[in-house]
Structure 1
Amino acid sequence: MLANLFVIGLLGAQIAIVVGLIKPTWVKATSRKKVLGIYGLALIVCFVGFGMTYEKPGDIVSAKSVDKKMQQVAQKESNKPKGDEKAEPQEKIEIDMDEVNKRYEKYLQQTAKNKSTKPTYSNDPAVKKLQDWVVNTCNGGSPFNQSILMNKLGAFELTTVTKGNPNILKAFYYPNADMTIIANVKTRRIVYWRLGRQGS
C-alpha cells in the first residue's frame, strides 16, 4: 500500500529533523538550515501523499459487502426455477364468425346434395310447378329476395332452426309450394331448400 510507505517516510522525516537539529552530521547535512529544508520538504510530501492514498476501512468494507450481495443475487437468479418466470402473453386468437357461418352453410349444402333418397314432390300440378321453380332458382348461394319469393310462392311462415346460429340462419316455409327455404339473413343468401315444413 502506498499509504503505508508514506507513513514510514513521514516518521523517518520527523526523526531525521529531530536528529539533524541536534547534530546535522548524523543525517548527512552540513547545517541545521539544510536539515529543515530537505527533511521538512520530505515531511510535507509524505503527509500530502498519505492523505491522498489513505482509504477508510468503512469504504473497503462497504465495497466488499456490495460485491457479496451482488453475488448472492446472481446465485438466487441462477437457482430460480424456470416455472417461476412470468409467462409471456399469448397471442390473442380472433374467430371470424362470418367465415364459420360460411363453412357451415357449405356443409349443409353438401349434405343436402349427398342424400341418397330423392325428394318426393307433390302430385298437385300447381304445387309441383312451384316446387320445380324453387329447385331450379333457389340454389345454395343465390340471392335471397323476399319480395320475389313472396310474389312467386305466396306468404311464408317462420319455422324453428335447430342447427347453426338462429340469429343469422332463418327457415321460411311457403305453404303454397310446401317447401322450406333456409337463408342467411345477414348475407341475404339462400343456404339450401327442403320439401315440407322443416328447420335446418
Structure 2
Amino acid sequence: MSFSEFHFIKTLFIVVLVSGALVGCDTSNYSLSSGSDPSSNNIAEQETDSHSPEAYSISASSQKLGNNKILLKLATNIPGTIELMAGISLADQAPDDILIGKNGRARLVNGKGQVTFNVSDLPSGKYNVKAAFYPRWGFKDEESKLSGVDENLEYKHSISLTGSGEPAESANQRNEGQAWVMENITMGSEWDPGFWKNRFGQWNEFPVTTRNPDITSNYYFESLDMTIIVNSFKNEITTWRMGRDGL
C-alpha cells in the first residue's frame, strides 16, 4: 500500500468516527429535551372544601310538647356561631294586621340550635314556622363571617295549633278593635252608646268602686276584652283599660 492510499484511508476513518459522535450527541440531546420531568408526577392538586355563599341554607323542624309549648329545632350549614330570628305566626295575615304569634332570637353553634315558645295564649288555627338569617347582625364569630353569606336566608313550614281554643278570626277581630280604640279614643271623647253597640256588640256594666257611681260607669266589651269608662254626667269617655278593669 502506498503512502497516499494509507493517508486517504486514515482520513476516511477519522471522518466516520466524528460523524458517529455527532449523531450520538444529537440523539442524546433530543431525548433530554423531549422527555417529561419525572418529578411532575408527584405534584398533587389541592381542592378546597368550602361552599359558595349561595350554597348555605337554614331549616327548622317543630315538635309539640305536652305542656302547650312548641320546640323549634334549628339547623344550618353556616360554620361557627350565628343568630337567627325564629318563631311562629298565624297564617294568611294581611301585612297591616296585628301579628298573632311568637318570635325571638335563637343562637346556633356548629350548625345546631333550638328555641321553645309557649302557645297557650294563641288562638287555634294554621300557623307558619319561620326562621330567618340576616347577615347584618347574624354573624357571631369570625368563622361564620368567612362563609361570605351576604343575603338574607329564610325558611318556612306550616303547622296547626289548638292553643287557647279561641278561633283565629275572633282574635283578629279583637286585635283590630283594640287597635282602633287605642288610636282613636282619648279622655273626653264623645260617648255614643249606639255607635259602640253596633260596632263592638253589647257591653256588660259592672259596679264602680273608686268613683261616684252616679257619675261614672264601667262598660266591659267582651269582643274587645276592654273596659270603657264613661262619665255619664258629661256623656264622654273618661278612659279605657285592657281587660275587665274599671274604676
Q: TM-score, normalised by structure 2?
A: 0.31
Q: Which has the higher strand share?
A: 2
Q: TM-score, normalised by structure 1?
A: 0.38
In our comparison, the structure showing a higher alpha carbon Rg is 1
Q: Which has the higher helix share?
A: 1
